[in-house]
Amino acid sequence: MQKLFPTLLAAFCLIYTTISAQTSAPAHTVFLLGNTTQGELPTARLQLLRQVLEQQKTPFTVVHLGDIVGNEGLASKKDTALSQQEKGRADAFINLVKGLPLGKIYFVPGDKDWANSGRDGLKAVRRLEKYIEKALPGQNAFVPTNGCPGPEVVDVAPLVRLVALNTPWFTHPYDRPEAPDTDCKTLTKEEFREQLQDIV
């Protein structure tokens, strides 16, 4: 599991190298990464990815596919040391696109962001969303929002659509947004399937 992030990063750097060797630049490039909760943060690899992003001549999007900050999600303010460590992880990914006007980043939560499917999972994922949205105002960078299941659609480019699914919502054994006490557009698993079929 610890080797997954380096493998993904290496694969996408290879794709980038291949693309950059072509005569015409792509209209839009998407970089995917995820499962970054294991072990220490791969700072050197993130610096390499940042260098790649700085060299982009056309718009690009980075998508973090979940398990973002730690095995228990973003801690409450009571656990100061742990919370600062997890915020540092989130900041490292947010900073990938800071100051780069051509780029955006989106975060899709994983089960570990739901407190590793723990009792405080919904609170943890909402804390993480609040922190990321505050750091990236006006973008709606954390999708789906508010712990809702989705599907949530983000058109990142004319021919590129991100369909975000909050898959931990389906297996979370504790509190989660569902009918009748929710503001989510999707209230049941059946509605989710119908909406997803309409999108794809």
Q: Look at residue 87 and tell me if it is in a domain.
A: yes
Q: Look at residue 179 and tell me if it is in a domain.
A: no
Looking at residue 179, its pLDDT comes to 66
Instruction: For residue 145, give every residue at least 6 positions away whose Cβ sits within 8 Å of its Cβ, in sequence order, or none.
Output: 129, 152
Q: Look at residue 38 and tell me if it is in a domain.
A: yes
25: left (phi over 0), alpha (psi -120 to 50) or beta: beta
Q: pLDDT for 64-113, tens place per residue?
A: 999 998 766 566 666 555 578 888 899 999 999 999 999 999 999 999 99
Q: Look at residue 71 and tell me if it is in a domain.
A: yes
Q: Look at residue 162 and tell me if it is in a domain.
A: no
Per-residue pLDDT at 29 exceeds 80: yes
Q: Look at residue 80 and tell me if it is in a domain.
A: yes
In contact, 37 and 73? CB cutoff 8 Å: no
- Total tally of structural domains belonging to the chain: 1
pTM: 0.83
Q: Look at residue 165 and tell me if it is in a domain.
A: no
> How many residues make up the chain in this entry?
200
Looking at residue 137, its pLDDT comes to 92
Containing structural domain, residue 21: 4-146
Q: pLDDT for 103-145, tens place per residue?
A: 999 999 999 999 998 999 999 999 999 999 999 998 899 999 9
Q: Look at residue 106 and tell me if it is in a domain.
A: yes
What is the maximal distance between C-alpha atoms in the chain?
A: 55
Percent of the chain with pLDDT over 90: 53
Per-residue pLDDT at 151 exceeds 60: yes
